[in-house]
Amino acid sequence: MVHAGAILGTRFFNPAKFLPGTTGHLFFANNEVDIPCEKPEVTMGQGVFFLWTWGAYVEVNGNSFKNVSRNSIESLDNYRDNEGRGQVFIRQNKIVTPTAGCPFPGPTSYPNGIVTGWFLDPAGGQDPVKYSKIVVMNNYIEAKGKLSAGIISMAVGMTVVNNEIILGGGSKSKAIVHTGSHGFVADNKIRGSGAFGIGAMPYGDIQKPPVSEFMSQKWV
C-alpha cells in the first residue's frame, strides 16, 4: 500500500493506460510532509508523487519532507500536450530522508530525495514531442540512507542547478545521478561522503523486478 503525502496525475486512478487531456496546472507549495512508519523497508512512502500528467505546469516549491521511506518528490512520465505545453519545476524544497526505506523497484530506490524524468516509458524521456521541460533548483537535501540518492534525473535536457546535498548514509550513497543526455548540472554544493557526487550513466542500469515479484511482497 502506498503511504503518501499527495498523489497527482492519472496513474493510480487508471493504471491500465495513460489518459491524455486530463490534467492542467498543478502546484504543491509550502507544505510540511512528515510520514513516519514502523516498517519503512516494506512501506511505499511517497511525499508528493506526479505521474502521467498532460500539458501540465507542475510546480513543487517551498515544501519540507522528512520520514518518507521511498522518494520525497517523484515526478515521472509527464507529457507535453498537443500544443507543446508542459513544464516541471522543483525548487526551494527541504528534504531529510530516513536511514531506511522501501527497495522498490530496485535496491537503488530507497530512500531518495528527488526522482524525476521518465520511468514507465523510458523512450519518452528522449522524445522532445513528449517530455516536459524539467528544472530542479535551489533544493536542500540530506540523503541519510546507505543507498540513498539526493537527486535522480532520468530524461534528456534536465537542468539541475544550485542544489545543496549532504550525503550521510555511507560509501554507497550518491548525490546526483543523471541517466539522460544533454543535461545541465551546475553550481550544486555537495558535502559528506559516498560513492560519488555526480554520476552520468545509462538508464538501462536501473532494472525493474517482474510484476509477480512485486505482488508477492507484503506492503503496509
SS (H, E, C) 76-120: ECCECCCCCCCEEEEECCEEECCCCCCCCCCCCCCCEEEEEECCC
Q: How far is CA 22 from CA 8, 97, 122, 134, 135, in A?
A: 11, 32, 21, 20, 23
pTM above 0.85, yes or no: yes
Average pLDDT of span 125-135:
86
d(CA 173, CA 186): 20
Question: When comparing pLDDT for 119 and 72, which is higher?
Answer: 72
Report the SS3 class of residue 12: coil
What is the predicted pLDDT for the residue at 211?
Answer: 40
Q: pLDDT tens digits, residue range 43-75?
A: 888 899 998 999 999 999 999 999 999 999 999
What residues does each domain of the chain span? Answer: 2-216
Residues 6 or more apart from 198 whose CB is under 8 A from it? 175, 176, 178, 185, 188, 190
State the DSSP string of 126-187: G-TTTBPEEEEES-EEEE-STT-EEEEEESTT-EEES-EEEE-S-TT-EEEEE-SSS-EEES
Among 32, 45, 182, 27, which Cα is nearest to 93's?
A: 32
Give the model's pLDDT for residue 108.
61
Tell me how far apart the alpha carbons of residues 145 and 168 are, in angstroms, rounded to a whole number: 7
Q: How far is CA 97 from CA 21, 44, 88, 173, in A?
A: 34, 14, 22, 12
Residues of the chain with pLDDT > 70: what percent?
89
Edge-first strand listing for the sheet containing 140-143? 32-34, 64-66, 94-96, 140-143, 164-167, 189-192
Q: What is the pLDDT of residue 185?
A: 93
- 19 pLDDT tier (thresholds 50, 70, 90): confident
pLDDT digits (tens, 9 = 90+) for 21-51: 877 789 999 999 999 988 888 888 889 999 8
Q: What is the pLDDT of residues 104-117, one digit of tens each?
A: 777 666 899 999 99
CA–CA gap between residue 166 and residue 139 (Å, rounded): 11
Name, in order, each residue with C-beta under 8 angstroms of 124's C-beta and a sequence gap of 6 or more.
77, 79, 118, 130, 131
